[in-house]
A and B are shown apart, each in its own frame.
Chain A
């Protein structure tokens, strides 16, 4: 089964392929935001293969993070 961990967008760039800076673990990374034009800085997103594919509302992101924490992932 696929597992998807929500990460927060810390910064966004403009242009034809907007990118978002995200952080997980100890390092920052970038993801493409083409699939989620509604995303804004501060949103939690699900990232696959370098592409953010879902925006999670704050409550849902908290619930997802809690589920992972319950299983010891984080």
Chain B
């Protein structure tokens, strides 16, 4: 039976806590961010109609509803054996996703540059309206395509915001890069120390694609550990060392649980491949050559610029106005199949159950929905693998370094820095610098010989 969650826990969550373990000589043996207050909702999904899962999950999360919406619909399409969706529909979904990522990156800028944040958020909002999602919870994707193509007046309104957003994002990215450089690499040193892989979604050629169909993992020294795997290979790619735990410690199966640690998010996205848009690609090159690759704020700013460019490109594409929203040979029929009473013929697998996996690469990194359903369309098990869970090990490594090396006077600010860099989707991440109120619990356990 899942633990009951109260409203108070959700609205006014327990303070962020770093748990430190020392050996008998007093040396830091381990440090980790306490995720025990982060509930896993999967147990609550068992027995429910699988078709309802994406909408339910996005309404419980509310922070990244678009990412859950798109990953969930992709998982359902995988489960029910849908083929590729029409190109216009793919563009509309892509527009929604990139606009959503831009919106989240913009929000993080509000303390540094309020006007820039509002400008970028304005374009993001207009683009999401163009993609058919004017409200907080998206209604864009349906099985086999999208609910509708773009309306010309919405597209015009969004296009009118592109020039200012592009110049703003370009300026913000350049300033973030300059700031990272001014720190002489010191800012990035903490994130640079990570020896795990960088995981991100790409297209078929290995170019970074936040709405991509392939997954790439690049090791710390630049070698491809996973070179464009597809979603149907998911179970062979990544596994959880502690399945069902708040901190499941996912790892790359090919490397094993001990050495298969990895991270996701903007730094991983920039390290996993080349960006395809010109302005962001130029800044990405500078980010690499100026030894600022560890700067998470710069990485976020570069990804925000990339999102603006992709959003602008899609808005200018006439196919978002003309084309097919849903493939009639599978979309509408599929929708009827999904919502009908248990039809044992609908599942793509031939066994008593079938598995579907969907993914997107969001502002905080890779989000994966995996559903296992019976032939009646009821959930047997579900996994929602979040960026926060995937970055927990990376964050732990940074915290261990900080606690081990920082002076007592520095510890608080450097712990905050590490948390802001890893950017877990937790209440503390919303706090501006100096207001996080993290508790460093340095007396939890002493390792015995």
Contact = CB atoms under 8 A, between A and B. Distances in A.
Interface of A: 1-7, 22, 24-25, 29, 34-35, 37, 46-51, 53-57, 59-61, 63-64, 66-68, 70-74
Interface in B33-68: 38-41, 44, 55-57, 59-63
Contacts of A22: 11
Contact of B6 (A46, A55, A73): A73
B136 A1 contact: no
A60 B12 CA distance: 21
Nearest to B386: A1
Instruction: Give the dominant DSSP class at A's interface.
Output: mixed
B281 to A, nearest CB: 30
A67 B56 contact: yes
Contacts of B8: 24-25
B427 A3 contact: no
Interface bracket on B: 35 or more
CB-based closest 3 A-B pairs: A49-B427, A60-B136, A67-B59
8 contacts: A1-B41, A1-B384, A3-B61, A48-B13, A53-B107, A61-B136, A63-B59, A71-B44
B110 A49 contact: no
B135 interface: yes
A51 B431 contact: yes
B426 interface: yes
A67 B62 CA distance: 11
Interface in B413-449: 425-431, 436-437
A66 B56 CA distance: 9
B352 interface: no
B118 A2 contact: no
Contacts of B4: 72-73
Contact of A70 (B10, B11, B56, B136): B56
A48 B62 contact: no
A39 B341 CA distance: 42
Nearest to B59: A67
Given A53-B107, A57-B135, A2 B59 contact: no
A72 to B, nearest CB: 7
Which of A2, A66, A74 has the largest number of chain B CB atoms within 10 A? A2
Interface string B1-42: 000111110111100000000000000000000000011110
Interface in B112-164: 118, 135-137
A22 B7 CA distance: 13
